[in-house]
Amino acid sequence: MKSFAIKTPSKEIEKDLLTKIDFLTKPKGSLGKLEKLAARIGLIQQTLSPKLLKPHNILFAADHGIIEEGVTVSPKEVTWQQLSHFSHGGAGINFLCNQHGFKLVLVDAGVDYDIPEGRGIIDCKIRKSTRNYLHEPAMTPEECDLAIERGAGVVDKVYADGCNIVSFGEMGSGNTSSSSMWMHAFTGIPLADCIGAGAGLDKPGISHKLDVLTRAWENYSGDESPESYIAWFGGYEMVMAVGGMLRAAELGMIIIVDGFIMTACILAASKLNPAVLDYAIFGHQGDESGHKLMLQALNADPILHLDLRLGEGSGAVCAYPIIDSAVRMINEMDNFQSVGVTKYF
């Protein structure tokens, strides 16, 4: 598997960052989470004057073999239909990207459909859908490695376009099941606490989902390494996101983490290289059961809690204006000395 040389940001600048923030014309700590975000972004970029440049939302799409077991209410064709919809505009992620100045990048990672050319969708297809991991690994180690490399390659393209802050989204019927399996594998949280309604399962549907995934876990016969869990239970779109996150961190980019599925991806990425978390800002706590527990396992402090469960990168893009406010605060506010205001804390 491709390795990534991710540098842990130096702490030497941290004291100067905190001093600059503390001496802005406000009571110390009065801008709360904005102050923490500004310090974190300054630390990532190793500067007292951080910048946000050309934000992109990369949306990977793929199908999952596990849906053959009835673990979701979304039929398989929804994946390619929605991917096509994204390319025409008018979906949830489209209006959010338009509102907040994001460029939306669409990637076919493994959709079970021949996507027509000329729609602006990047063809990174590994295979038409993963296999059904109730009976066999979702992908081969070679396919997993290729997905990591292709996800990293997409990030290279947006970085070359001048982007230094990126969010990731996904589309794939059945991917909450795969995320639950990664969550269980990497945190040890009981599988029942990792499973939720996904796209809208009722209580009997959730019980059936738990039964299927429990049997899938019992049938696992890998070597219990992170690479094995990622390939056995993952989706192509999820593994490409893992590769994208790792490459973004290697390039020193800010990563805005979206909901349940993308949190599972940054969790998986951290098992391959823990330093990736130094570049992550968690956009929101979603409504999918288990997301809060996974965030707690990562010691993550999400910016928003809007009961979202759309995916697509929607929560990450929604959080961007708060991140922008934090950067504007550290760059645009006066300090006490420059304006002759008595420091009042």
Q: Which residues are catalytic?
A: 312
Coarse DSSP helix, strand, coil percentages of the chain, rounded to the nearest 5 percent: 50, 10, 40
Q: What span, in angstroms and rounded, lies between the C-alpha atoms of 39 and 33?
A: 10
Structure tokens at 330: 């550290």
Phi, psi torsion values for 253, nearest 5 degrees: -85, 155
- Identify the burial level of 14 via C-beta atoms within 10 angstroms of its C-beta, where 0-12 means exposed, 13-18 middle and 19 or more buried: middle
Contacts of 68 by beta carbon, 8 Å cutoff, 6+ apart: 132
Q: Are strands 165-171 and 121-123 parallel, antiparallel or unpaired?
A: unpaired
Beta strands in the chain (DSSP E): 56-62, 103-110, 121-123, 165-171, 254-257, 280-282
Smallest CA-to-CA distance from 169 within 184, 181, 154 is with 154
- CA 198 to chain CA mean position, Å: 17
Beta strands in 244-306 (DSSP E): 254-257, 280-282
Q: What span, in angstroms and rounded, lies between the C-alpha atoms of 235 and 282?
A: 21
Specify the DSSP class assigned to residue 27: -
As a whole number of Å, the end-to-end CA separation of the chain is: 52
